[in-house]
A and B are shown apart, each in its own frame.
Chain A
Amino acid sequence: MALQSLDIAKRSATTTEPPQARQTLEVAKLIDVSKCIGCKACQVACIQWNDLKEEVGNCGGTYDNPTDMTANSWTVMRYAEVESEERGLEWLIRKDGCMHCEDPGCLKACPSPGAIIKYANGIVDFHQENCIGCGYCVTGCPFNVPRISKKDSKAYKCTLCSDRVAVGLEPACVKVCPTGSITFGSKEDMQALADERITELKERGFKNAGLYDPAGVGGTHVMYVLNHADKPSLYSGLPADPTIAPTVSLWKGFTKPLAMAGIAAAALGGLFHYVMKGPNEVSKEIEAEVEKELEAEK
């Protein structure tokens, strides 16, 4: 890639080393759930910047609209009403979308070379021209993010506006957020910003406020400030400790070399058995016996 901001760190179904000479700054998007008012400007900006169009859907009984992410809606606000004795009713709103894992399960599962790319800056991007539509990314993702289009059978998800970031712009959702709930910058800066905000929240009585940057997937390049970081599941089922499932790791890890070795051993074993032991021919003796039997019949 010509642009340093698009240097590739990991490529699906590719076993050789990526270019590593240049060191790119790792970026991150920080979503401060405690500042979100649920206006959906981010959803609109996402659809507008990416030239997407969502079908008019149905009301699912909540403000979630559409009710789930689709191939055309790469981010969806999820509204959870949570009641506790301590705080009464709380409306916990989370902007859902790709978390841009440092160790992406989708990329690990993808069988098509170059269909899923992780840039050196941390963004995980789907390249639809290489996508074969198998849906293994869905199988691999710990966050249930990729969606397969019904029109073209390709997988789609948030790109973290890799096209904008590549030329020094912030993602579209960050640009429009009216409360400053979404910010974008280097991962280090975003962690520092989150720390400040978490201190503030703790002072205001949210004693379990914290940063959601789950270590099980190597950290993420989309992070949340949660006012109840001890219970991520309150936020419409955000997983507490997401990891690439052991079944997926086994499928894409150990099974591959083991199966290849097994198949090669069977094929080579056959060849060398033939060469060393020789073919199993019908013996002359038995042929003669059979001849005699036939003679006797006549």
Chain B
Amino acid sequence: MIRDPNDLQRYTASERANHWVVGICFILLGLSGLALFHPALFPLTQLFGGGVWTRILHPFIGVVMMLFFVVMFFRFQRLNHMSPTDWEWVRRAREMVNGDDHTMPEMGKYNGGQKLLFWFLGLSMLVLFASGIVIWRAYFSQYFPIGVIRIGALAHAAFGALMIIAIIVHVYAALWVRGTIRAMLYGTVTRAWAKQHHRAWYRQMTGK
């Protein structure tokens, strides 16, 4: 969809589709994982057809998410290397959070916070996938000693919770910075948005 011919293309259709497959998997995994994590949330298993179905489906959804995450990871990892300017941005993130962003250092396609989140999500996915295999009782647990399974269960719960928190931050940041969500829905952002939030990327895209 072209709203304005001057809009800038931020994501291709394939990148967007990739992101949303991962996003849908994340929501399903978050809900089913929380259902099995805390007794108060066990009723969430009803969304998946009961406790047994939740237990069966969760790990398979996890495998789908991992596959698509890996593709997305290699698509975006080049753009997420931290530079000294990014670290400066991170050090001054408080000003940004306070809504006082016009003196922040110029950012490329991603700012320091987005980049750190990217690497943290990568780490979380790695830990969740590895520990998830270890605690997948139906197929894999028999190959691991009990001590490893116990560490796996703990790591899976801890990183699951951390990743949910990280994604809440990710989603909130996209909602808070107006004009961002459309980048992941139909791919474009306005020039003004780009100039305000990612000025170095704006220059690169427009030559200004």
Contacts and interface: CB of A to CB of B under 8 A. Distances in A.
Interface stretch (B21-29, B76-84, B157-165): B157-165
B51 A132 contact: yes
Contacts of A248: 150, 153-154
Interface in B141-192: 141, 146-147, 149-151, 153-154, 157-158, 160-162, 164-165, 168-169, 172, 175-179, 190-192
A136 B153 contact: yes
Interface in B64-92: none
**Which 5 pairs, one residue from A and one from B, show the smallest C-beta to C-beta distance?**
A135-B137, A259-B161, A270-B172, A132-B51, A13-B39
Question: Which size class do B's interface residues fall under?
Answer: 35 or more
A14 interface: yes
Interface in B1-58: 6, 35-40, 42, 45, 50-52, 54-55
A277 B38 contact: no
Given A113-B39, A132-B51, A283-B102, A266 B169 contact: yes
B98 interface: yes
A139 B194 CA distance: 50
Given A139-B149, A256-B38, A270-B172, A132 B192 contact: no
Given A15-B39, A286-B192, A139 B177 contact: no
Interface in A96-111: 109, 111
Given A134-B55, A135-B135, A245-B147, 19 more contacts: A15-B40, A112-B42, A132-B36, A132-B45, A132-B52, A132-B54, A136-B153, A139-B150, A153-B52, A248-B150, A248-B154, A251-B154, A255-B154, A263-B164, A279-B177, A280-B99, A280-B178, A283-B102, A293-B208
A86 interface: no
B175 A247 contact: no
Contacts of A138: 137, 141, 146, 149
Given A270-B172, A280-B177, A259 B158 contact: yes
Contacts of A289: 192, 195
Interface of A: 13-15, 109, 111-113, 130, 132-136, 138-139, 144, 148, 153, 245, 247-248, 250-251, 255-256, 258-260, 262-263, 266-267, 270, 273-274, 277-283, 286-287, 289-290, 293-294
A130 B99 CA distance: 50
B193 interface: yes
A255 B158 contact: yes
A247 B151 contact: yes
A112 B195 CA distance: 52
Given A280-B176, A282-B190, A247 B137 contact: no
A130 B97 CA distance: 46
Contacts of A247: 147, 150-151, 153-154
Contact of B168 (A113, A270, A283): A270
23 contacts: A15-B40, A111-B37, A111-B39, A111-B42, A132-B55, A256-B38, A259-B37, A263-B164, A263-B165, A266-B168, A270-B172, A270-B176, A273-B176, A274-B176, A277-B99, A281-B179, A282-B179, A282-B190, A282-B192, A283-B102, A283-B192, A290-B191, A290-B195
